[in-house]
Amino acid sequence: MTKKQERFETRGRLVLYFLNGSKRYFLCSMLFACLVSLLDLINPKILGYTVDSVIDTKASTLPAWINAQIAKIGGAPFLRTHLHYIAFTVVLVALVGAFCRYEFRLNNSKGAETLVKRMRDTLFDHIIHLPFSWHSENRTGDIIQRCTSDVETIKMFLSEQLTALVRITVLIVLSLYFMFTISPKLTLVALCYIPIIIGYSFLFHRRIGNAFRYADEEEGKLSSIAQENLTGVRVVRAFGREKYERQRFEEQNREYTNMWIELMRILSQFWAVSDLFSGLQILTVTIFGSILCVRGELTAGGYISFVSYNLMLTWPVRSLGRVISQMSKAGISVERLRYIMNSEAEQDKPGAVTPDLRGDIVFDHVSFAYENGNAEVLQDVSFTIPQGTTFGILGGTGSGKSTLMYLLDRLYDLPEGQGQITINGVDIADMKAQWVRTNIGMVLQEPFLFSRTLSENIKIARQSANMAEIREASGRAALDEAVEHFDKGYDTFVGERGVTLSGGQKQRTAIAQMLIRKPPVMVFDDSLSAVDAETDAKIRRSLREASEESTVILIAHRITTLMNADQIAVLDHGRVAEIGTHEELLNNHSIYRRIYDLQMSQEVAE
């Protein structure tokens, strides 16, 4: 959290950063790709020499040093009676080429998988250190889609398209060189189409890139809908929303499908034009080559070699267009990952401290508004929570109760000039955020449980806890009675987000999670709302015994949960309306008394 964050001004810088650790593999794969390209160009030359100088008697067009080596074994007359030497050479070149292809694929695969691992590790590490506000503003499904689909797109481009680009460049240069040595005129004819193919590839580049970006955005929305419905399946079922959610998913899926249809339409146009000009280029070379052969300006062997080289040239030139189109898609994916990597991670102040948090908690003229909100959620809130006491907070929905605790736990940072929160006389803004959260235990109204066993969930904040400590914490959270009815006890597997547990069992598990840490400050944010009154009372009695030295903050709608607190603050529209003990607040005949009378009358009616 305290490490200096690197900024990525360009896409290239981010790609190079991700390539650390895999560059050597990609460089080796590119080297072997070049060797493969070179070896592919040798056999057509051997074929041309065989036709012109071995089968026929024309002068050799091979380089002088090769002719000198052939002369040592008897020259063309010797090879004419020993054609198996030529066949052996062709096979040898093919075998060396196969070995180079193997090394190319091996190093390329190592580089690709190393790259993906680094990207995933880096993204995950960065995302978990991003502020809580960032996660609130970005959809989970979209984040997952960026870390999976976009990572895979970048991997495919760097491992296949980029290495192919090197091979394509080598093939084009060497093919044109060999073609030029055979027939400069015919080479110029072949070259006429290359600028056209590259030109229309760049024209399609922007259209393809925009289409890929929109398709990625639609996929992110679709992933978000699927993720929400899968994690909230019980709510969907409970309210009979299956039909509505299915229609919502199908509508978004239709948009996503239409985007890909549009993208495929653009790509179809691109490849149709590419095939047309590539076919015309081959046809033109074939016709003009035949004319040159008839005129005697080109030998039969030279013609065969030239056509072979031209076919080799056609593939890389067309592939160059594919690389350009894939570059559009990869560029969008890199930009989407750059948004994540350039998002500011939490940073502690220089010289952040780790003081003892056993002391008074003071909220001093605290005001706060969320970035996406207009009105202030908290307005000039001031109160003191003495160390070792139990402090209750009561208020209606939207009164700012939870926001106070988010600020206390540094999930949101208090802006400059908006007040101060201190613990034991030290401003929490001057503390290390991780230290604050380690020493302030929070239990939320809707706790999150992981897909692990019950015991693993309980000790998630303190891995060194033994079974006796787990049972003790569970007993204080009134969870032990429920566990006794589970077939596997504490080894019971808890489904995703605790879906296999009831609301009350999840809340009690979360309370046990916090109690096992024994933090100096304990916050219960309406975390007893899903338990019955009897269990509520039992847990509160247990908490008083377990937290004699800890400061306890209780946030609740139920006054019976708060009435035994040392002090109770009543929030109304972001302000402290009244504060005092239960008896004092009852005597005020204000908000607290009205809520008390209402809740008591409801209990009597029940």
Q: Domain containing 440 — which CATH number?
A: 3.40.50.300
Q: Are residues 458 and 309 in the same domain?
A: no
CB atoms within 10 A of CB 539: 23
Q: Report the alpha-carbon distance of residue 330 to residue 161 in Å, rounded.
A: 10
Q: To the nearest 10°, report the CA torsion of 20, 26, 27, 31.
A: 180
pLDDT for position 382: 92
- Two tokens, residue 444: 């939320």
Contact 505, 537 (CB under 8 A): no
* Residue 385 pLDDT class (50, 70, 90 cuts): very high
Does residue 351 belong to any structural domain of this protein? no
* Same domain, residue pair 533 and 422: yes
Query: 325 with 425, same domain?
Result: no
Closest CA to 324 of 114, 162, 457: 162
Q: Is there a single domain that holds both residue 426 and residue 303?
A: no
pLDDT, tens digit (0-9, with 9 covering 90-100), for 164-199: 777 777 777 777 777 887 788 888 888 787 777 777
* Dist. CA 111–CA 22, nearest whole Å: 5
Both 379 and 321 in one domain: the answer is: no
Tell me the residue range of the domain where 421 lies.
361-605
Measure CA 123 to chain center. Answer: 6
* b/e 369-378 (16+ beta carbons within 10 angstroms → b): beeeeeebbb
- Are residue 367 and residue 338 in the same domain, yes or no? no
Please list the alpha-helical segments (H only) found in 3-74: 11-18, 23-40, 42-49, 64-72
Q: Count the domains in the chain.
A: 2
> What pLDDT is attached to residue 205?
65
Residue 454 lies in a domain: yes
- Any idea what the CATH number is for the domain that residue 92 is in? 1.20.1560.10
Which pLDDT belongs to residue 509?
Answer: 83
56-65, 297-306, 511-520, 541-550: which is most confident: 511-520
Q: What is the pLDDT of residues 228-284, one digit of tens each?
A: 777 666 666 766 777 878 888 888 888 888 888 887 888 788 778 777 877 788 888
Q: H/E element holding 273? A: helix 242-295
Residues 284 and 392 grouped into a single domain: no
Computed from CA positions of residues 541, 542, 543, 545, in that sequence, does the dihedral angle turn out positive or negative?
Answer: positive
Q: Is 419 within a domain? A: yes
**Among candidate residues 18, 68, 44, the one with its CA nearest the CA of residue 313:** 44
> In terms of domains, do 376 and 516 share one?
yes
Task: Catalogue the E-assigned strands of 225-310.
Answer: none
Identify the pLDDT of residue 360. 92
Structural domain includes residue 354: no
The tokens of 131 are what?
């502020």
Confirm whether 34 is domain-assigned.
Answer: yes
Q: What is the pLDDT of residue 603?
A: 57
| Residue 3 domain flag | no
Domain annotation covers residue 1: no
Residues 415, 321 share a domain: no
CA dihedral 23, 27, 33, 38 (to 10 degrees): 170
For the record, the structure tokens of 528 come out as 């007893």
pLDDT band at 1 (very low <50, low <70, confident <90, very high): very low
Nearest to 223 by CA among 185, 178, 253, 262: 253
Mark whether 307 and 378 lie in a shared domain: no
Least confident of 22-31, 331-340, 595-604: 595-604
Burial group, residue 279, by CB count within 10 angstroms (0-12, 13-18, 19+): exposed
Q: So what's the pLDDT on residue 428?
A: 92
Residue 349 CB contacts under 8 Å (≥ 6 apart), including other chains? 429, 430
Residue 4 lies in a domain: no
Q: Is the pLDDT of residue 326 over 90?
A: no
Residue 260 sits in the same domain as residue 402? no
| Better-predicted residue by pLDDT, 391 or 295 | 391
Q: How far apart are CA 125 and CA 119, in angstroms?
A: 10
CA distance 422 to 415: 14
**What dihedral do alpha carbons 535, 540, 545, 548 form, nearest 10°?**
160
| Average pLDDT of the segment spanning 140-163 | 84
pLDDT in tens, 304-319: 777 777 777 766 666 6
Which of 308, 342, 376 lies at the terminal end of a domain, its last residue? 342
Dist CA 214 CA 439 (whole Å): 44
Domain stops at, among 342, 369, 394: 342
pLDDT at 606 over 60: no
| Residues composing the chain | 606
Closest residue by Cα to residue 576 from 401, 408, 373: 401
Whether residues 393 and 480 fall in one domain: yes
